[in-house]
Structures are given as structure tokens and as C-alpha cells.
Amino acid sequence: MKSTIELLEHTDFPAIKRRQLTILQVNMGYLCNMSCVHCHVAASPYRTEMMSRELVELIPEVLQAQNIDTLDLTGGAPEMHEDFKYLVKAARALGVKVIDRCNLTILMEEGYEDMAHFLADNQVEVVASLPCYSLENVDKQRGKGAFDDSILGLQKLNQLGYGKPDSNLTLNLVFNPQGATLPPNQQQLEADYKRELKAHFDIEFNHLFALTNMPIQRFGAVLLAKNQFHPYMDLLKANYMAANLAEVMCRSTISVNWLGKLFDCDFNQQLEIPVPNKSRRHLSDLLTQNPSGDDIAIADHCYGCTAGQGSSCGGALEEEAVEPALVDTP
């Protein structure tokens, strides 16, 4: 059986180039307190890959050299990296906005009880994964007890001012479909989330990001096992929207893995598809070289970012309805 990368590498996706680099997305490592079914990086409590202190210290230098305004920290659970707080403080001292891709449950883990306060004190924007507003669906996707801990984490953030009107503490939530479907309309789903979370848990947040599941890593393996990989790719291609090409995240973002290698996006990182320009493939290269105008590496999974309303790390690209799913949910 072919691997997901072998199935994705031959593509007719349109060629695209990077514009000005404004976001540095750093994967600090694959250690996580969870093992979610939809996780495209296959993170878990058993992963040991973590970025070195030497590379962490290089990041603020790159932020300055490239005049980058946003540092987007992900993992794994980035908060579990021993240098997470150091990096956040260093970036904030430069006036750079910091985004923490938080799974919420980490805020309730032993040893991380002060993390929410740290994020608030440093005005870190929290982008938190919450696949659904119901216990059954969240626990199915993320494990038993995940929903309850997520709610407690959200309430803790709310108590600190996150997601509140007129607050400078931004709290955005992330939705992923349960399986091989396209996300529903983001605006409508956001309204549902806000209504249900407020009514049942008195939780407030700023925005909901509806992300398309990428057919790679753990989720790709599930699709292959259930013979749904090709139908899912057909779904993504059938809903391709050329207008979304202008706003895909790789246009303004570059992704760094735990070894300091550069990729055009987090998904290419997991597929080990490097940036095409061989002269700048490491974080250190960005100290002296500007990647603006470079070709972006593409493969068939890129259709996931352009299907329907589009999908990026900042949610939908177009606020419009999409076609219903054409395959069964895994």
C-alpha cells in the first residue's frame, strides 16, 4: 500500500509564491498530553522530539532580521517545552504578537496550573482546540475527560479576561470536523458555539476557526485503513475554490520544525516536503536571507486549504456555505 505522501506528491494544484513573510510558525516539539484522532502531527505523551535551547534562542534574532510581527507557537503542546516561557517573553519584549496553539486540557495538568496566568500576563493570544460544544463528540475525538477539562480551561481563561468584550486578551476556538467532511459555514458555526457555550457553561470567546482535516499523518492513516482516502481527496478537489489561493497561509507564513528546518506550512512539515529553495532551508538562513518571492512546495493536500470556504491557521478564507460530505465519517 502506498503511503500518504506517495499518494499526494503527484498534483495538478496551481503553482504559488510567497509574499512578504509576516508570521513565523514554530513547532516546538511533538510532546503532548493528548493523542487526538484528528492530529496531523501525531503528537502524544510518548513523543520525545523537542527543539533545542540553541534553536529557541535563535528565534528572536530571526523575528528581528525578518521584521516579523507574529510568532505562532505550536506542537504537540508547546507549553510542555521547558523553554516555552522564555521564548514568549523574548518575543513579547520585541513587540511581537505571540499565538499559543493550546489544547486547553494542558491548563488543567499538574505542573501547569499557572500557565493561564502566564499567558494573560504576557498578553498571548490563545487559539484553543475545541472540536465541538458537546461532551460526546469531543471525547470521541480527543479522549475521555477531554471535554470537561477543556471547559474548565476555558472558564479559567475567561476568569482572567480572555474572550471578554473590550479585553485585550484574545481567545479564539478551533473546530475540526469529526471525520472525512468539509467544515460547515464558519459564521453559522461560530454563532452556534457562542450560544451553546454561553448558555451551558457561561463561556465567552472572540472567534471560531473552522479548519479542514488534512489527509496526512494520523488522520490520513485512518482514511487509508477505511478505504476513504481517495473519496476524501475527490471531495476536496470537487470543492476547489480558486479565489482562496490569494489568502492561503503559506503566502505569508513559514513553518519551522523542532530541528530548525524550514517548510512552507505545518502540513508540508509533517510530510517532510522542504521549501523548494535549497539555499534557505534552515532557521539560521533567515538571519540573512529573505524568502519573499520564493516558490511554495505543493502537493494534493493543498486542496484542503482551498476547498469550499477555504482553511488556514486563522480559519476560513471565505465565509460561504460548502457542499455536504460525500464520504462516511471514520
- Can you give the pLDDT at residue 321? 44
What integer pLDDT is reported at residue 36 of this predicted model? 64
152 φ, ψ (degrees, to nearest 5)? -60, -40
Q: Which of 31-45, 78-92, 132-146 has the lowest mean pLDDT?
A: 132-146
pTM of the model: 0.90
Percent of the chain scored above 70 by pLDDT?
88
- The pLDDT of residue 323 is 46
Give the domain ranges of the chain: 4-306
Mean pLDDT of the chain: 88
Q: Which of 20-29, 118-127, 227-236, 306-315 shows the lowest per-residue confidence on average (mean pLDDT)?
A: 306-315
Q: What is the pLDDT of residue 322?
A: 44
Closest C-alpha to 33, from 109, 117, 85, 135:
109
Stretch among 17-31, 157-171, 262-276, 315-329 having the lowest mean pLDDT: 315-329
Q: With pLDDT > 90 as the criterion, what percentage of the chain qualifies?
A: 65
* Model confidence pLDDT, tens digit, residues 226-279: 999 999 999 999 999 999 998 899 999 999 999 999 999 988 998 899 999 999
Is residue 325 very low, low, confident or very high in pLDDT (cuts 50, 70, 90)? very low
Q: What is the mean pLDDT of residues 198-227?
A: 88
292-319 pLDDT tens trace: 999 999 999 999 999 988 887 777 776 5
Q: Quick one: fold of 4-306?
A: TIM Barrel (3.20.20)
Using the predicted structure, report yes or no on whether residue 2 has a pLDDT greater than 70.
no
Reported as a pLDDT band with limits 50, 70 and 90, residue 178 is: confident
pLDDT digits (tens, 9 = 90+) for 281-296: 999 999 999 999 999 9
Listed residue (4, 84, 26, 69) closest to 283, CA to CA: 26
